[in-house]
Structure 1
Amino acid sequence: MKRFFRYLLIVIVLGAIGFWLFIRYAGGKQKKALSVIPSDAVLIVETENLTQAWQQLREGKIWNYLTQNAYFKQLNEDMELFNTYIGNNAIASQVLKNRSLIMSLHMTSANDYDFLYVADLKKMSLLNQLNLSKIADQVSGYNAKQRKYNGKKILELADPEDPGFIIYLSFSDNLLLATFSASLMEKAIDQKANVNEENPHWTQHADFTSVTERLRSRELFKLYINYRRLNDFSLAFLSEESEVFRILSESLTYSALDADLQDEIIALEGYTGADSVGGYLKALSEVEPGRISAWKIASEQTAAYLSMSFDNFDDFYKKLIGVYEKGNPEELADSKSKIGKLERLLGVNFQETFFNHFDNEIVMLKLRPLKNGDYEDISLLIKMKDIDAARAGLDKIMKRIKRRIMVVKFEPEIYKNHTIYCLEMPGFFKIFFGKMFEELDKPYFTYIENFVVFSNSKPDLKLLIDDYTEGNTLAHNPDFTDFKDNFANKANLSLFVRTPQIYQNLYYHSKPEDRKDITENKEFILSFEHIGFQLISDNQGFKTKLLGKHNPDAEKADKLQVIENEAFNDLFQKELESDSFALKLDQLPLEKDTLYTLKNPNGTLKIEGNIKNGKPQGLWRYYYPSGNLKAALNYTDGILEGTAYFYHDKAGKTLKAEAKYQNGTLHGNYFEFYKNGTQKTRFAYQNGKPEGFAQFFYPDGRKKIEGEYKKGEKHGKWIFFDRQGYKIGKERWRNGKKKK
């Protein structure tokens, strides 16, 4: 963080030299600030009025929160010092106040970057004739020296306490240039000499001006993104190349965005250009946007949601083929050859059997890792026009794989009324869609609503099924839906990142030397809890929106959510309330009085109990395939009555749950227990719904959560405790809805 603090010191130096700039020069040639920005800038931030921009920034809630961090606190103090200096120095005020400023970010090596600052002093022209050594006399605390580079004077101000810290200053007509990188200053001086047809000036570059000229608003900040440099920039932070950044770099040109700083939202809106030979995104820019809907079935544990949507998949696929014919004909030919060989081997036409059923959205999901080591897990959701036809097509493909290749090792598994299959065809998605989908090698898959859901992780697929079945989806997460409502329902590309959920992946994929900083600043990273990016085609490229939602309590809220998930997700209560274990009368023999028994496939006893007058009567016992007792239930005339006991699958009859029934309905005290015998939860049912005080516990018996139910819904205050027993947070609920 110290490195960033130094960037702002340059502003103080600008004030120190203001007197010389003002009294000596006026009038003359005007140069645009962008003209000295080297063409390899990754990001450019521009403000037309530095004073007003700082005022808007410092008055916002987001900035006030960030100043709790040591770096931002120091930054704020220095800016306030600068403000005071300007206010007390009439000459400096006239020179520097309300001036425009550009800050550009450049890679200075494969693993490092730096900033160039350009202040437009407007009427302060002919600055190149200024004797910079005289300015040095006005800057105390620095060792100053002057040198020339390509005919331009560069003033170097070195900190005697830190000789490696050097501020470089130079002038170009009405522009003052400053940086902490000697090579970057030299590159800026060389920029004019290096301008040519292959390396045009920013304001002469057609791809750049095509997006900047479309901006119409007058926000204080503007952000420009150079996508061609984005992939290289990402490698300064990531331990390996990201396929997403690679695709963005190859498919997009520039974004020009107006920035609006609100109390809880940083909003950037504008336009983005598509590269003429880009892949997916170029094809998306040429088709109508489609409705995004997979978020309705996506798990609440979704960390990143990347959606490609289109009005018609066939149109998109034809455009994609056309883009590859123009830009990557060899890759396209190789793909077609592999597809042809595979079709001949299996005797199927993939277009007719599979792709003709695609509807309007393809989504890549990244879930919060279930455990360490799950950082490469990924899921793919494809919306289908007719899910039954898609199912029939995939069934046909799998039968052909089994018949022709004969390597099938995975038998379909029934899990919570969903069948999990495995597409045991290596590289299937990579052949059709390229490297972006290479992680989906021999994926597991199932069907949820109108989507085929693929995943390279069976636990992730089961989590998606769990959360969909239990209603723990993004559609039921008010924080997510409120944020999503800031975006259009129809788009071509939509990316939603939930920072608390993605944090473990961020840490894992970062460089080892950066992980200490990431850990120390976790609270501030997580405070930007939602990040969204959306592209909508408009015949000239894309309308673009980039939003960051700030919540200072995001880390705390996530901790509470994790504790709540741990407490609720593996409760036996869900199975209990579903009555899935209960006897179905139509499954029983018709005899009026008999001892009924049913065996497991392995021959062990599964169920035993008495039937009287054609109905279960008295004690009934259920057993695991292992032979261990599973449950002991009491029936009166075929209806559950009294206390029911449920057991873990282990020797010794370790109690799992105890419930009370009244006339077939849950009514009375309810208890659950861990395998070690300690209590997991306790509360009461009233007429089949949780009612009153409830407690949940850690495996060591310490309290985890306590709260109240009202008619089956959370109500009132819910308190959370850590594993040491300390209270760490609370939530307030009203009739099942969390109060903000």
Structure 2
Amino acid sequence: MSHKLLVFLIGLLLVSALGSYVYYRRAVARVPVDPWSLVPDDAVFVVATRDHATLVRHLKETQLWDNLTAVRYFQQVEEHVGLVDSITGTPNVVLRFLGTKKVLTSVHVTGARTFDVLFQVPIGSVREYRQVRTLVDGLSRNPRYQVSTREYQGEQLTDIRERDTDNAITFFNYRNHLVMSASTALVEAVVQRLQHPSLPSVAADFQSTDFLQLKDVDATLLINYRRLPRFLSVFFRPEVEPGIATVTSLARNGQFEMKLAGNKVVFNGFANPETARDALQQRLRLQPTQRLRMAEVLSLRTAVLVHLGLGPVQVLRPARPASADVLEQQNGPLLDSLAAGLREEAALCYLATPSARIRPAKLALVYCPNPLRAATLLGQLRRQNGASPAFERVGPYQIYQTGVPELPAHLLGPMFRGFALPAVAQVGNYLAFGEEAADLRLWLTDVAAGEVWSRSPTQVAFLQETQPLARMRVLIDTRNSWNVLLRGLVEERRAGLLRNETLFQRFPQVALQFVPPVNEAEPGAQYFTQLVLRHPAIGPAVAKPQSANGTGGALAFKTPLTSAPTLVPVTGARVPGVLVQDNQQVLHYVTPDNVVAWSDSLPGPLVGKVNRLTVGPAPGYLFATPGQLHLLDESGRERPDFP
């Protein structure tokens, strides 16, 4: 080969390499990575966060932080964060690394009784890339860990394994975008997805919505309702799954914004209606929304309530097959007549139980505008099926046997199965069916005594914060539902629930609601959805509108304030917090979001000013009362090591 030809080929190679580099920088590297496109299709939940310092601050101000750090999973995360800090020699390095990056956390079912989490964190600079490499190098030199790399479909995966426990994490860097998980299969699923870039992402239905651009949004949550039953089957016993599948078949997926504020966590968003043929959505589509009027007959023992707002309940009933049994054909005309008189509200209600070993009372409640006609038809059904005319009296109410197995399912559709030999009672305009007479006896005892939601200030305040009109509501009282949940869980999950009791009962009032749009018949119409987690407001101050038109907000303290407010700068917040004392010597901390985060009783009035300490591993508040110095931590607790 001549020298000229060799020089020409080398030059051609250099030009090709330079062209490839320029093409990569201009056509590939400049195109930002869409993290949603990397999430495997089987994700059940995807949480997106951005301002992590503010998120942590809000978690602390709503007193959720202490509950989260008591959960074993978060304790493991905290241990890993501490390890990173020790290797890098810099405190809070992880929180600063996350900063305001858009981080995605997705949850996936990876086995019959297991689920795993996938994290995506972008790398924003060469310095941050070096931090990651320094961390990996530090772990490789630590005898507790084994670090190895391997190739998988053109990507280099790094496995970090703890030798003693065999716990491991796998990650890889895709265009300065870290993808990591304790499940190797999840990371490999991301690599497999890279081979098919044209596939729609899990958020394809919400591409035009970015809740993180809105003010005061702490995170966004994407839910795949179609995969939710399988995820819940990881925790619950098989007999619970059909009911869960029915309730979740109103929508196929949805996206929420999350806001942490005071005594509640609010998720607002939208959901796409389910399109499957046998879904609950197909029966409720275009039905009118209704108010929850049955609060007057809901016992304070109610643990879980699934409430449907609709027109006639006949839309819930499937067509009677030609091969129906003799009993169903015999009762058909009476069942049709009785169902024709039921409308507007139908609900499944589970009552609290004193022990997880005891079956919870289960009721089916439905509104009937003509209770006299309904009572007459029920009497005819009893006589036709040979049921005893005897009844049991509870206060002014009577309990009868129906004589028709699974009568609620015949009247209200398959969602109301599970009443083998039901009993029935009437309270005003409501029919109530129980699995047994004892279930109705328990419920009627509370109704007769006036122990109902409509007479409870706590429950009334809760209902006032929910949507007035909705198609479906799922309302949970976690204090009442504790034993109900324990009974429904698989055996190996009960210990985990008991360990996390404080987190679960932090918000005893939970409401999930679906409100259809006005233009429901148009293509692309979505449900407005709201999830509220709330604990009753029992603090020292009441929030009120600052102006007549409801704009702005002010706190009205129940006891007069005696000290001048002390401004407390808060990292990441535009407005400072405030410390103030009332005439009962109680010191209150008001967050930048105008919420009383904590209150602490003092032995006397404040002397001088409050000093905010920002140095050292644990910031706090230093101040004096007559004859004593105090140092409180950021949660308002006295520091045990002071003075």
**Of 408, 414, 421, the match for 2:400:** 421
| 2:607 match | none
**Of 440, 464, 484, the match for 1:505:** 484
* 2-structure distance, mates of 1:155, 1:372: 45
Supply the AA of the counterpart residue of 1:360.
E
State the SS of the aligned residue for 1:61. Answer: coil
**Of 542, 548, 553, the match for 2:527:** 542
- Quick one: structure 1 residues 508 and 160, their matched pair in 2 at CA, closer, same or farther if it must change by over 3 Å? same
- Listed one character per residue, the Cα deviations across residues 663-708 of structure 1 (whole Å, up to 9, x for unaligned) are xxxxxxxxxxxxxxxxxxxxxxxxxxxxxxxxxxxxxxxxxxxxxx
- Listed one character per residue, the Cα deviations across residues 52-95 of structure 1 (whole Å, up to 9, x for unaligned) are 33333334322245546677567568768878999959999986
| 2:287 match | 287
Alignment of 1:124-273 (within 5 A): 136-139=136-139, 140-141=141-142, 142-162=145-165, 164-194=166-196, 200-204=200-204, 206=205, 209=207, 212=209, 217-218=214-215, 219-240=217-238, 241-273=240-272
Larger radius of gyration: 1
Contact preservation (8 Å) 2:219, 2:257: yes
TM-score, reference length from structure 2: 0.70
- Quick one: structure 1 residues 371 and 100, their matched pair in 2 at CA, closer, same or farther if it must change by over 3 Å? closer
| 2:34 match | 32
* 2-structure distance, mates of 1:65, 1:496: 22
* 1-structure distance, mates of 2:453, 2:396: 21
Shift of 1:98: 1.8
* 2-structure distance, mates of 1:93, 1:436: 46
Supply the AA of the counterpart residue of 2:290.
G
Contact preservation (8 Å) 2:211, 2:257: no
Shift of 1:434: 4.4
- Quick one: structure 1 residues 541 and 133, their matched pair in 2 at CA, closer, same or farther if it must change by over 3 Å? closer
Structure 1 residue 474 corresponds to structure 2 residue 453: yes
- Listed one character per residue, the Cα deviations across residues 227-249 of structure 1 (whole Å, up to 9, x for unaligned) are 11111111111122433321244
What 5-or-longer segments of structure 2 have no aligned partner?
1-24, 539-643
Shift of 1:152: 0.6
* 2-structure distance, mates of 1:122, 1:262: 31
What 5-or-longer segments of structure 1 have no aligned partner?
1-24, 322-331, 403-407, 554-740
- Listed one character per residue, the Cα deviations across residues 173-208 of structure 1 (whole Å, up to 9, x for unaligned) are 242101111111101111233566xx632244x4x5
* 2-structure distance, mates of 1:167, 1:81: 14
- Quick one: structure 1 residues 74 and 229, their matched pair in 2 at CA, closer, same or farther if it must change by over 3 Å? closer
* 2-structure distance, mates of 1:251, 1:42: 16
| 1:584 match | none
State the SS of the aligned residue for 1:281. Answer: helix
* 2-structure distance, mates of 1:517, 1:89: 31
- Quick one: structure 1 residues 298 and 157, their matched pair in 2 at CA, closer, same or farther if it must change by over 3 Å? same
Shift of 1:524: 3.4
State the SS of the aligned residue for 1:290. Answer: coil
Supply the AA of the counterpart residue of 1:119.
V
Structure 1 residue 525 corresponds to structure 2 residue 504: yes
- Listed one character per residue, the Cα deviations across residues 390-413 of structure 1 (whole Å, up to 9, x for unaligned) are 2222222223223xxxxx256222
Shift of 1:463: 1.7
| 1:337 match | 322
* 2-structure distance, mates of 1:437, 1:93: 48
Supply the AA of the counterpart residue of 1:279.
A
Shift of 1:495: 1.1
Alignment of 1:304-703 (within 5 A): 304-310=304-310, 312-313=311-312, 317-318=314-315, 332=318, 335-337=320-322, 344-346=329-331, 348-351=333-336, 353-369=337-353, 373-375=357-359, 377-402=361-386, 408-409=387-388, 411-538=390-517, 539=520, 540-550=525-535
- Quick one: structure 1 residues 537 and 83, their matched pair in 2 at CA, closer, same or farther if it must change by over 3 Å? farther
Shift of 1:261: 1.0
* 2-structure distance, mates of 1:187, 1:379: 44
* 2-structure distance, mates of 1:544, 1:87: 45
Supply the AA of the counterpart residue of 2:149.
Q
Contact preservation (8 Å) 1:29, 1:174: no
Contact preservation (8 Å) 1:28, 1:123: no
* 2-structure distance, mates of 1:381, 1:495: 14
**Of 98, 101, 105, the match for 2:100:** 98
Supply the AA of the counterpart residue of 1:549.
R
* 2-structure distance, mates of 1:176, 1:294: 51
* 1-structure distance, mates of 2:533, 2:78: 21
Shift of 1:358: 1.3
Shift of 1:280: 2.1
* 1-structure distance, mates of 2:535, 2:254: 23
Shift of 1:340: 9.0
Shift of 1:169: 1.3
Shift of 1:31: 1.1
Shift of 1:372: 6.1
Which deviates further from its counterpart, 74-83 or 245-254? 74-83
Which deviates further from its counterpart, 145-154 or 456-465? 456-465
- Listed one character per residue, the Cα deviations across residues 304-332 of structure 1 (whole Å, up to 9, x for unaligned) are 1110012x226xx44x57xxxxxxxxxx5
* 2-structure distance, mates of 1:466, 1:86: 63
* 2-structure distance, mates of 1:94, 1:416: 64
- Quick one: structure 1 residues 280 and 213, their matched pair in 2 at CA, closer, same or farther if it must change by over 3 Å? farther
- Listed one character per residue, the Cα deviations across residues 269-297 of structure 1 (whole Å, up to 9, x for unaligned) are 11111111252234334222111111221
* 1-structure distance, mates of 2:258, 2:113: 28
Q: How many residues align?
A: 500
* 1-structure distance, mates of 2:79, 2:136: 24
Shift of 1:454: 0.8
Contact preservation (8 Å) 1:244, 1:436: yes
Shift of 1:254: 0.8
* 1-structure distance, mates of 2:243, 2:332: 34
Shift of 1:373: 4.8
* 2-structure distance, mates of 1:216, 1:363: 38
Shift of 1:388: 1.4
Supply the AA of the counterpart residue of 1:118.
Q
Contact preservation (8 Å) 2:85, 2:91: no
Supply the AA of the counterpart residue of 2:394.
Y
State the SS of the aligned residue for 2:333. Answer: coil
* 1-structure distance, mates of 2:88, 2:40: 30
| 2:553 match | none
* 1-structure distance, mates of 2:92, 2:412: 63
Contact preservation (8 Å) 1:125, 1:173: no
* 1-structure distance, mates of 2:426, 2:168: 60
- Quick one: structure 1 residues 382 and 155, their matched pair in 2 at CA, closer, same or farther if it must change by over 3 Å? same
- Listed one character per residue, the Cα deviations across residues 583-641 of structure 1 (whole Å, up to 9, x for unaligned) are xxxxxxxxxxxxxxxxxxxxxxxxxxxxxxxxxxxxxxxxxxxxxxxxxxxxxxxxxxx
- Listed one character per residue, the Cα deviations across residues 491-511 of structure 1 (whole Å, up to 9, x for unaligned) are 111111111111111111112
Contact preservation (8 Å) 2:407, 2:422: no
* 1-structure distance, mates of 2:82, 2:61: 12
- Quick one: structure 1 residues 216 and 52, their matched pair in 2 at CA, closer, same or farther if it must change by over 3 Å? closer
* 2-structure distance, mates of 1:513, 1:541: 38
